[in-house]
Amino acid sequence: MRGVSSRYVLVLLPLAAVFPAQIVPAKTLPQQEERAGRFVGSAGCKSSSCHGGAGPNRDQFITWTQRDFHARSYAVLLNARSARIAETLGAGSAAASARCTICHSPFASVASARLKATAHPDEGVSCESCHGAGENWWRGHTRPDWSHAIQIAAGMRELHNFYARANACVACHQNIENALLKAGHPELRFELDGQTVSEPRHWRDEGQWNGVRAWLTGQAVALRESSWAVSTEADSGQAGGDRSNALAWLLAKTTEATPLPRITWPSADPATLLAQADGLARAAATSDWTQTSVEQLRVHLAATQAEFVQKGSEATGGLARRAERLVLALDRLTVALGDDHSTHANAATALGRLREDVKSFERFDERGFAGHLQDFRYAITLVSR
């Protein structure tokens, strides 16, 4: 059961009528308005001549139903854990509460006039949750004479650009109400590259270094949303500030080592960080990378061990969240650099220790983490020679 802020429910549902946060980038994407077509439901995609068959571009429906956790998102609302959370919140049934269905059963938040008879809330997060209402494009989008531009013009949501993709995902994968967290909902950590890799593939991304672009774009979008939550007190308290500061610290370190737009943390206030993060996300989506630039960034981030042992540094909880975001970054950069780097024995061992270090905030040992970070830096320096 996942909760999103009223910002999404009140402002963005009328635009997308399903997953919120469809923010169209002015410079990197053509302007696209949400079409007012109806939602067909996944049943419209399961024909063997469409996406329910075999072979490339024909098995997406089968991949979703058999392997994708999104297909089971509604079922999560029916388990005992969701029942306990709903009871704690006084929300009645999780499957009937808009605080839960907004992400676990998006069609439940769509006006009945926009749902065809084949669209059912219990199908969870399905095709149109990401691709947009399909009434105006679902019959034609698999035709060989339909280009991607024609599909988008007909109303399919643009997802090739990483900025657009991150915006389509972040609303249900980053911010969550404090009340839901206190009731037992797990904390959410948006990281576009790793979460995309773990998703059963039914698409292809063209070009090199897409993992780096996806990671950095996703982290910038996560900072934008976290900054919004802090600035509006939707994510108040020490933990909320720590979550936002961890992202801001990581991206400040990243942008000081790249030609991308800077994140001026800690001098920037949340509203300024929000704008800076959005600008970085737009630029990162189409950024240029080489093996050398990725290696240099990884070494630069790994050289931050001193910041985890400085006297007078922030509380351990804040350092733990900072370390967690750093390890995610090092992991994705290592994967992007290829097997000869990610499987190097010493580097792999050191990275594994770092992952273990950030599994528990309560048991986080900043000095131990700093030592393991130094080991990792030494290992990757040897690999890069």
Encode pLDDT of 192-221 as tens digits.
999 999 888 888 888 899 999 999 999 999
- pLDDT-based confidence at residue 1 (cuts at 50, 70, 90): very low
Which of 31-40, 145-154, 190-199 has the weakest average pLDDT?
Answer: 31-40
What is the pLDDT, as a whole number, of residue 64?
A: 84
Q: What domain count does the chain have?
A: 1
Give the Cα separation of 160 and 32 in Å (integer).
13
Q: Which domain holds residue 36?
A: 1-171+180-196
What is the pLDDT, as a whole number, of residue 383?
A: 61
**Do 41 and 123 form a contact (C-beta atoms < 8 A)?**
yes
Q: What is the pLDDT of residues 56-76, one digit of tens each?
A: 777 788 888 888 889 899 999
362 domain residue, yes or no = no
356 domain residue, yes or no = no
74 domain residue, yes or no = yes
Q: What is the pLDDT of residues 258-316, one digit of tens each?
A: 999 999 999 889 899 999 999 999 999 999 999 999 999 999 999 999 999 875 556 77
Give the Cα separation of 252 and 118 in Å (integer).
47
293 domain residue, yes or no = no
Q: Average pLDDT in the 333-341 region?
A: 78
Give the Cα separation of 251 and 256 in Å (integer).
8
What is the pLDDT, as a whole number, of residue 47?
A: 77
The residue with greater pLDDT, 238 or 232, is 232
Q: What pTM was estimated for this model as a whole?
A: 0.87
- pLDDT-based confidence at residue 177 (cuts at 50, 70, 90): confident
What is the pLDDT, as a whole number, of residue 339?
A: 52
Q: Which amino acid is at 323?
A: A
**Mean of the per-residue pLDDT values of the chain:** 85
**Do 341 and 334 form a contact (C-beta atoms < 8 A)?**
yes
Give 87's contacts (C-beta < 8 A, 6+ positions apart).
none
272 domain residue, yes or no = no
Give 267's contacts (C-beta < 8 A, 6+ positions apart).
none
Identify the CA nearest to 42 among candidates 132, 135, 120.
Answer: 120
Q: How many residues does the chain have?
A: 385
375 domain residue, yes or no = no
- pLDDT-based confidence at residue 17 (cuts at 50, 70, 90): very low
Q: Average pLDDT in the 122-134 region?
A: 92
372 domain residue, yes or no = no
320 domain residue, yes or no = no
What is the pLDDT, as a whole number, of residue 123?
A: 92
Is pLDDT of 50 > 90?
A: no
Is pLDDT of 129 > 70?
A: yes
Is pLDDT of 319 > 70?
A: yes
